[in-house]
Structure 1
Amino acid sequence: MIVPADKPLVIAGAGPVGLALAVEAVRRGLDVRIVDRDEGPTAPEESRALGILPTTLAVLRASGVSERLLAEGQPIRRVKIAWAGRPAAEFSLEAASTPTPFILSLPQGRTERAMIDWLSGRGVEVEWGVELTGLEDTRSPTAILSTGERLAAYALAGCDGIHSAVRAHLDLPWVGDRYPTKFALADIRLRTPIEADCVQLSLGGPNGTRAFLPFCPDFGRLIGVVDDPQTLVDERNDIASVGWTSSFEVAFHRAERMSRGMVFLAGDAAHEHSPVGGRGMNLGIWDAAWLAYLLSEKRASEYEMRRMPSVKKVLEQTRSMTDTVTAPPRWTGAVLRFALPAALKLPLVRRRIANRLLALDLPQPVWL
């Protein structure tokens, strides 16, 4: 492996995707500069992404970051589904083809801090409050920073979110459309502890779709297909306190290209979709891991070819899942109460469902 010694990999954006790229690049011997226009990492109480999937844990295991994430997070091993207010189905994720058959529940801010600490321990500090304001020559890129510095780069990665400056400088079309339904969330503290290893999903009831994802036995996140988070809070009588709340719209977009020359897009800079299924942050981290691997192997030209099929598949899957949870067909109740329990008696079906829910049906990194 030949790693350039005179020019760094420049990363615009220090969210979980940019930080994962920095971690994977540094452990593979690349020099890194990482900048972010914000003044610091995501506030823990405003963490949008919270589900870490098995492939992400596998990717970050080589650096040791996964060990810290596992120590801090809550494994979600089961899913309970209610239909029209009555229990309908329950299944375990433990049949999945992975050593970590669960979703790790951990607020995004804590995931970011684990990677920031790892990088700091190796002499790499995030340059907060520094924005990419210009980009020259995609084949031998120069990043122009808000500090006035002109930084010659070996490669440049745009991990700078949906409103990516890197994508704008590349003038790449944003393909897709917005989704007509609005969502809301509320992080709540419960009066009485519950099962912390179980996602609770309610469909077909008078209030519409609701989900509860635990952070720990008495704290978790309510999500619903509703305009106002206060509506979610008012529906329950077991809430001790309310933390961060938000309402948001979703869209299904992707960049027409994920690279041009030695400039690359990863994460939300390259694609956005519904949070249903918990793919968003994970898909971006997988982009980052592939990019670090290909850069270190001098095969960066393969990046778009490797990533675009998975991006398209995830957008297709999440669109289908979002349609199902926002407007379940009438026959959903019968499937949940009768067909699904019967099917789950078969080990192969249990494995396939668990693998699908944990995104293990997508192409896995070749180096793992």
Structure 2
Amino acid sequence: MYLAVLLLQEGVSVQVLEQRVNRSGHSRAIGVHPPALESLAKAGIAEAMTREGIRITHGEARSAGRRVARLDFAAASARYPFVLTLPQVRTEQLLEQRLHALDPGALVRAARVDAVTDSGAAVRVHGTGGGGPFTVDASLLVAADGARSSIRSALETRWSARELPDTYLMGDYPDGTGDGPLAVLYLEPEGIVESFPLPGGLRRWVVHTDALEQDPTAVHLAELVRRRTGHRLDSAGNSMLSAFGVRIGRAHRLVSGRTVLIGDAAHQISPIGGQGMNLGWLDAAALAPIIADSLRGLPAGGALRDFERRRRRDAAVASAQAQLNMVLGRPLPAGMMALRNAGLERMFQVPALGGVVARRFSMQ
């Protein structure tokens, strides 16, 4: 939807084929980093997002009840000196409203893509919708259909993926911490606990677990948080609960003829650190001007090769950062945890190093 908005603003005719009939209410992604906000401003929704979301200007790492380190995001961006939290479902609503304002017919729901044919001069998409089979002809096709991309499979694009050993339990609860708009990482021997403020007086909690929870409950997650941090959560007020593992992957080719892969269809990274959704937006922002120029008759071959090289590089950097975040959150014996935390504390006493880490965490 974001890419469609950018292209419509450039006068390009678009159609968004969405398999779901209704938007999912299950909101995992909440963090919007400064580079993504800069890009979303071009689509006309950043102002509404920042008005509704929580602006996190600082983050803290704590362990055994004391502060180990503090991150300041204020210097990360002149225009957006914070990381924004806003539930994904609301971000999608704002994007859809903007898309509808530009072209009420651009978004087509209940449209499943079954096959793609590239003639060299155009792309033909074959699918099934509410009214039966359909065919769409287009100059270009962009596949943003997730890590299990059926279009990527149809193109026979090589996909390298692997499971990581980390598992997590995540949920949203009424915020009784008193931490306000502060993000907190609890570095504890049993594993990390992450805590992020959300609009509506809520706070998201993410706990590293020993194994994937098969039947998670809000009571169990609250108990894990209490044991590791001392905070008592209101289980009756839980509004979202999810257990998940981590799988990373990458496509070996992003551009195939007249089809381009973006987002999780191109590169799947760990959700820890909240970079995947932002990475997809930045893919779209980089691709939109290339598409607009190519449809005006300008040669796109070199620009697409540069796009592919840069997006693969940026995805590799984001994936490495996410995996580092996971390493820091794994369980450690108490003695080793104390030594590691002492090293972090000394490191963050150097302002320049703290600034580098803050910029890296916010995708600068």
What is the match of residue 166 of structure 1? 151
How far has the Cα of 1:316 moved from its partner?
2.2
Q: How does 1:1-368 map to 2 (within 5 A)?
A: 19-43=1-25, 46-124=26-104, 125-137=106-118, 139=120, 140-147=122-129, 148-190=133-175, 192=176, 194-205=178-189, 207-216=190-199, 218-226=201-209, 227-228=212-213, 229-230=216-217, 231-235=220-224, 236=226, 237-239=232-234, 241-298=237-294, 299=300, 301-302=304-305, 303-327=307-331, 333-334=338-339, 336-337=341-342, 339-360=343-364
Look up the equivalent residue of 2:243 and give its one-letter code.
Answer: S
Look up the equivalent residue of 1:316 and give its one-letter code.
Answer: A
**What percentage of residue pairs aligned between the two structures are identical?**
27
Which has the higher mean CA deviation after the structures are superposed, 293-302 or 114-123? 293-302
- The one-character-per-residue Cα deviations of 1:129-182 (angstroms, maximum 9, x if unpaired) are 111111001632111121322211111011111111111111112113111221
What is the match of residue 365 of structure 1? none
Corresponding residue SS for 1:121? helix
Whether the aligned pair in 2 keeps the contact of 1:188 and 1:220 (CA below 8 Å) is yes
Whether the aligned pair in 2 keeps the contact of 1:134 and 1:143 (CA below 8 Å) is yes
How many corresponding residue pairs?
A: 337
How far has the Cα of 1:87 moved from its partner?
2.8
RMSD: 2.1
Look up the equivalent residue of 1:311 and give its one-letter code.
Answer: A
C-alpha distance 306-138 of structure 1, shift in aligned 2 (>3 A): farther
Whether the aligned pair in 2 keeps the contact of 1:251 and 1:272 (CA below 8 Å) is yes
CA distance in 2 between counterparts of 1:251 and 1:178 reads 4
CA distance in 2 between counterparts of 1:127 and 1:328 reads 49
Which has the higher mean CA deviation after the structures are superposed, 84-93 or 20-29? 84-93
Which has the higher mean CA deviation after the structures are superposed, 232-241 or 253-262? 232-241
CA distance in 2 between counterparts of 1:296 and 1:328 reads 51
- The one-character-per-residue Cα deviations of 1:279-336 (angstroms, maximum 9, x if unpaired) are 1100011111111121112235333123111112222222222122124586554454
How far has the Cα of 1:263 moved from its partner?
0.1
C-alpha distance 295-110 of structure 1, shift in aligned 2 (>3 A): same
Look up the equivalent residue of 1:218 and give its one-letter code.
Answer: G
C-alpha distance 39-89 of structure 1, shift in aligned 2 (>3 A): same
CA distance in 2 between counterparts of 1:157 and 1:132 reads 12
CA distance in 1 between counterparts of 2:339 and 2:80 reads 31
How far has the Cα of 1:346 moved from its partner?
4.5
- The one-character-per-residue Cα deviations of 1:226-257 (angstroms, maximum 9, x if unpaired) are 23343322243242511111111111111111
CA distance in 2 between counterparts of 1:247 and 1:144 reads 35
Which has the higher mean CA deviation after the structures are superposed, 20-29 or 281-290? 20-29
CA distance in 2 between counterparts of 1:327 and 1:47 reads 27
How far has the Cα of 1:216 moved from its partner?
3.5
Whether the aligned pair in 1 keeps the contact of 2:5 and 2:102 (CA below 8 Å) is no
- The one-character-per-residue Cα deviations of 1:323-360 (angstroms, maximum 9, x if unpaired) are 221245865544544x5455545543333222111110
Whether the aligned pair in 2 keeps the contact of 1:73 and 1:106 (CA below 8 Å) is yes
Look up the equivalent residue of 2:316 and give its one-letter code.
Answer: K
What is the match of residue 16 of structure 1? none
Whether the aligned pair in 2 keeps the contact of 1:138 and 1:260 (CA below 8 Å) is no
CA distance in 2 between counterparts of 1:225 and 1:335 reads 18
Corresponding residue SS for 1:61? helix
